[in-house]
């Protein structure tokens, strides 16, 4: 994927905000590319080794690639939890295809992007073998660092003759090898502009027109389907000079889900954190992290500030969780259930600024969750804004041992302290009693 190296000076907020981008499997991306006139190798998906063997005979030529279908990059250099090496393998006959598929399907593929647990492989893409003359890199994404007075972001086409490689490493070591073209979102990408890009990248004359046509088709797909990224790595030239998309990775803006329901129905929850599926059903914005302080906040900006101040005081947030501006008592309870499903959580920090969201609704939800879920970890609550006095009355009269603090800095410091105390007591085999929490 495109990284910070391509756009120095821009801010990559995706990892820490509630914005989510649909990611679909390679074979699904290939299907979409073909609908927009992009040439790709032939391929079919198999859900068993036997099906993979049967599909091999339907492809043209000799040999085929078996590609593990997981939502992560770096598959070729990855390894499986059963010891098998490589998530992309060239096979020369149907028996090889069956053997390789048997080692992939039902196992977990571990790459630089998956973490130590890897991702489950439930299917493989059996793909026609092609013989590219040269490999290139191409992608279209949104550049939010244009500094244009009329707009602070826009689509950008990025292409390079250094295909099949980690583009971020190329951008760091040889930035001149990267060609970037910002596209006017109103007028789109013209054929003339696309030809100019292809020439700058270094496509041979026989391939320039074909490459330019692919650029235009990719942008049409990017715009029509509300994509956030369309990445082809490698984009290759065939013996006759035609451009081919050998691989594809496509992401979509979740805000456009209502326009593309058939695409969003492709979401593969087996590839996601199970907690994120729970959050999605409860209409909560949640991203699991590695810390011990469960955060429940309303608003992405305040959520980011809350995580920052926890780290400032020596703590580590366990999650990003934005309940939004109109959460119900039931949603707050769902949020607590989600937070406490993480066994690493040793304190909960609730930080709410009531505008549209009313503090008394949050307070009722906190009390309900504490009773319903029989919470044992300390809860630190900071409430400010609409109906805050009524909220404090709900908490005070609940009989629950909830720590209520008005000051942002002090409440964060307390949440960090309680997290550390809880962890120490657990390691010592002691229980953190309600009386101790109150003191």
pLDDT higher at 423 or 26 = 26
- Give residue-wise pLDDT tens across range 16-47: 333 457 889 999 999 999 999 999 999 999 99
Cα R_g (the chain), whole angstroms: 25
Contacts of 85 (CB under 8 A, 6+ apart): 79
SS3 386: coil
The CB density around residue 273, as the number of other CB atoms within 10 Å, is 12
- Give residue-wise pLDDT tens across range 131-180: 999 999 999 998 876 545 454 468 999 999 987 667 777 777 777 788 99
Residue range(s) in the chain whose domain bears CATH number 3.30.1490.20: 42-128
Which residue matches tokens 């008005």? 406
Q: How much is the pLDDT for 94?
A: 96
- Give residue-wise pLDDT tens across range 359-397: 888 898 888 888 888 888 899 999 998 899 999 999 988
Q: In 130-157, which positions are buried (b, 16+ CB within 10 angstroms) versus exposed (e)?
A: bebebbbbbbbbbbbebeeeeeeebbbb
Q: For residue 244, give both structure tokens.
A: 């081919």
| pLDDT category of residue 13 using cuts at 50, 70 and 90 | very low
Q: In 353-378, which positions are buried (b, 16+ CB within 10 angstroms) versus exposed (e)?
A: bbeebbbbbbbbbbbbbbeeeebebb
The CATH architecture assigned to 42-128 reads 2-Layer Sandwich (3.30)
| CA proximity to 270, closest of 399, 134, 169, 119 | 119
| CA proximity to 27, closest of 96, 106, 85, 88 | 88
**How far is Cα 379 from Cα 373, in angstroms, rounded to an integer?**
13
Q: How much is the pLDDT for 279?
A: 81
Is 280 in contact with 288 (CB distance < 8 Å)? no
- Give residue-wise pLDDT tens across range 202-215: 999 999 999 999 99
Length of the chain: 439
**How far is Cα 232 from Cα 251, in angstroms, rounded to an integer?**
12
- DSSP class of residue 286? E
Contacts of 190 (CB under 8 A, 6+ apart): 216
**How far is Cα 327 from Cα 405, in angstroms, rounded to an integer?**
22
Is 235 in contact with 136 (CB distance < 8 Å)? yes
pLDDT average, residue stretch 288-302:
91
Q: How much is the pLDDT for 200?
A: 96
Give the range with max mean pLDDT: 6-10, 81-85, 149-153, 371-375: 81-85
Q: For residue 230, give both structure tokens.
A: 């369309």
Is 326 in contact with 350 (CB distance < 8 Å)? no
pLDDT average, residue stretch 51-72:
95
Q: How much is the pLDDT for 14?
A: 33
Q: How much is the pLDDT for 176?
A: 78
The sign of the torsion formed by the CA atoms of 3, 4, 10, 13 equals: positive
The CATH architecture assigned to 4-23+132-264 reads 2-Layer Sandwich (3.30)
Residue range(s) in the chain whose domain bears CATH number 3.40.50.261: 273-438
| pLDDT category of residue 4 using cuts at 50, 70 and 90 | very low
Backbone angles phi and psi of 153, in degrees to 5: -160, 165
- Give residue-wise pLDDT tens across range 250-278: 999 988 999 999 999 998 878 877 777 77
Catalytic residues: 137, 231
Backbone angles phi and psi of 245, in degrees to 5: -90, 105
Helix residue ranges per DSSP H, 350-387? 359-372
| CA proximity to 297, closest of 437, 416, 412 | 412
Q: For residue 332, give both structure tokens.
A: 């707050």
Is 78 in contact with 69 (CB distance < 8 Å)? no
Contacts of 31 (CB under 8 A, 6+ apart): none
Q: How much is the pLDDT for 15?
A: 38
pLDDT higher at 328 or 265 = 265
| CA proximity to 378, closest of 357, 396, 397, 403 | 403
Is the model's pLDDT at 7 over the cut of 80? no
- The overall average pLDDT reported for the chain is 87
Which fold is adopted by the domain 273-438?
Rossmann fold (3.40.50)
């Amino acid at each position: 994927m495109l990284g910070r190296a391509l756009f120095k000076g821009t801010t990559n907020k995706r990892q820490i905000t509630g914005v989510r981008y649909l990611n679909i499997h390679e074979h699904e991306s290939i299907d979409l590319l073909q609908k927009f006139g992009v040439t790709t190798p032939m391929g079919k998906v198999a859900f068993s080794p036997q099906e993979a063997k049967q599909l091999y005979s339907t492809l043209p030529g000799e040999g085929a690639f078996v590609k593990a279908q997981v939502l992560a990059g770096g598959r070729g250099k990855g390894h499986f939890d059963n010891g098998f090496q490589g998530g992309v393998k060239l096979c020369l006959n149907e028996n090889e295809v069956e053997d390789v598929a048997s080692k992939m399907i039902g196992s977990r593929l571990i790459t630089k992007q998956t973490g130590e647990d890897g991702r489950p492989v439930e299917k493989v893409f059996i793909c026609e073998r092609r013989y590219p003359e040269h490999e290139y890199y191409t992608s279209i994404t949104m550049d939010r660092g244009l500094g244009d007075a009329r707009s602070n972001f826009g689509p950008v086409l990025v292409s390079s003759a250094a295909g099949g490689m980690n583009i971020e490493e190329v951008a760091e070591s040889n930035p001149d090898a990267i060609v970037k073209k910002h596209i006017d979102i109103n007028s789109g990408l013209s054929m003339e502009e696309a030809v100019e890009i292809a020439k700058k990248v270094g496509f041979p004359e026989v391939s320039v027109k074909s490459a330019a046509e692919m650029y235009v088709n990719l942008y049409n797909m990017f715009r029509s389907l509300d994509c956030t990224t369309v990445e082809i790595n490698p984009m290759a030239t065939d013996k006759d000079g035609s451009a081919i998309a050998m691989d594809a990775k496509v992401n979509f803006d979740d805000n456009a889900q209502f326009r593309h329901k058939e695409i969003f129905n492709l979401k593969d929850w087996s590839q996601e954190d199970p907690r994120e599926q729970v959050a999605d059903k409860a209409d909560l914005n949640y991203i699991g992290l590695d810390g011990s302080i469960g955060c429940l906040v309303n608003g992405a900006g305040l959520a980011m500030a809350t995580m920052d101040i926890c780290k400032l005081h020596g703590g580590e947030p366990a999650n990003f969780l934005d309940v939004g501006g109109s959460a119900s008592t039931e949603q707050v309870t769902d949020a607590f259930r989600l937070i406490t499903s993480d066994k690493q959580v040793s304190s909960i920090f609730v930080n709410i600024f009531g505008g549209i969201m009313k503090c008394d609704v949050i307070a009722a939800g906190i009390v309900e969750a504490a009773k319903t879920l029989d919470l044992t970890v300390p809860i630190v609550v900071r409430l400010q804004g609409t109906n805050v006095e009524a909220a404090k009355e709900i908490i005070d009269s609940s009989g629950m041992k909830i720590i209520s603090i008005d000051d942002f800095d002090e409440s964060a410091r307390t949440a960090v302290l309680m997290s550390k105390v809880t962890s120490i007591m657990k390691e010592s085999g002691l229980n953190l009693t309600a009386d101790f929490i109150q003191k």
